[in-house]
A = this chain, B = another copy of it.
């Protein structure tokens, strides 16, 4: 992670942040930016892969909740903001060829093609904001690290070339906090929703809870249980496994900041 910027600079309006990124004036992680607004994972695929991927997301809504998608060749997603252009509005991108990351780029202008389709996929930042507002401490915030993520033995429902295991994020908490967290995150089905498991990691195929497959290990204290949510890394893994000739994603930590308010994503 090499994106850095003054910690004090927090944009409140997503359109202003996107304009700053587009103008090369913001180059940092988006975590903490535009409080109250939903941030999204980005996945961009050629049209001939996009139909299968859309079906994959609809079959697996918990790990792959679609917040918006573009028309083929068009990098705009007006439903997420009148000005949103996914080829310029994130401050870092990865380019994959045949499922392998080959380049990191500042925008997608040089690599964009007329057949590319963009997907904005819900992100746990939205429900984490609600958890913190609900008085539930999050260990990876306390430890100042990334959330711990694990491959599980829970297979996604395959669609065409897309499939593979469900990836989960894990947050340790007391049972009382876990019950409240289940209530809170149930309100957000479009950003992963309720957990899919708690307790015994082996029950979902996690061999060593101290060794996450992605992100950072966090302490699980006495009296706490690990609580597992379906994670947006699942579709990213599925895309890599499908090996499209060309695909793009956001660079980790550099999300698409949308005009959707997290509170709009709550179903009640």
Contacts and interface: CB of A to CB of B under 8 A. Distances in A.
A81 interface: no
Which of A178, A196, A197 is the most central at the interface, judged by chain B CB atoms within 10 Å of its CB? A178
A203 B183 contact: no
A15 interface: no
A179 B200 contact: no
Contacts of A176: 196-197
Interface string A170-191: 0000011011001100100000
A186 B268 CA distance: 13
A108 B183 CA distance: 42
A225 interface: yes
Contacts of A225: 199
A181 to B, nearest CB: 10
A198 B182 contact: no
A106 B206 CA distance: 57
A135 interface: no
B199 A175 contact: yes
A85 B183 CA distance: 37
Interface string A193-228: 011111110010000000000000000000101000
Contact of A268 (B175, B194, B223, B268): B268
A195 B180 CA distance: 10
A176 B204 CA distance: 11
A220 to B, nearest CB: 13
A202 to B, nearest CB: 10
A183 B223 CA distance: 22
Interface of A: 175-176, 178-179, 182-183, 186, 194-200, 203, 223, 225, 268
26 contacts: A175-B197, A175-B198, A175-B199, A175-B200, A175-B203, A176-B196, A176-B197, A178-B198, A179-B182, A179-B194, A179-B195, A179-B196, A179-B197, A179-B198, A182-B182, A182-B183, A183-B183, A183-B186, A183-B194, A186-B186, A198-B198, A199-B199, A199-B225, A200-B223, A203-B223, A268-B268
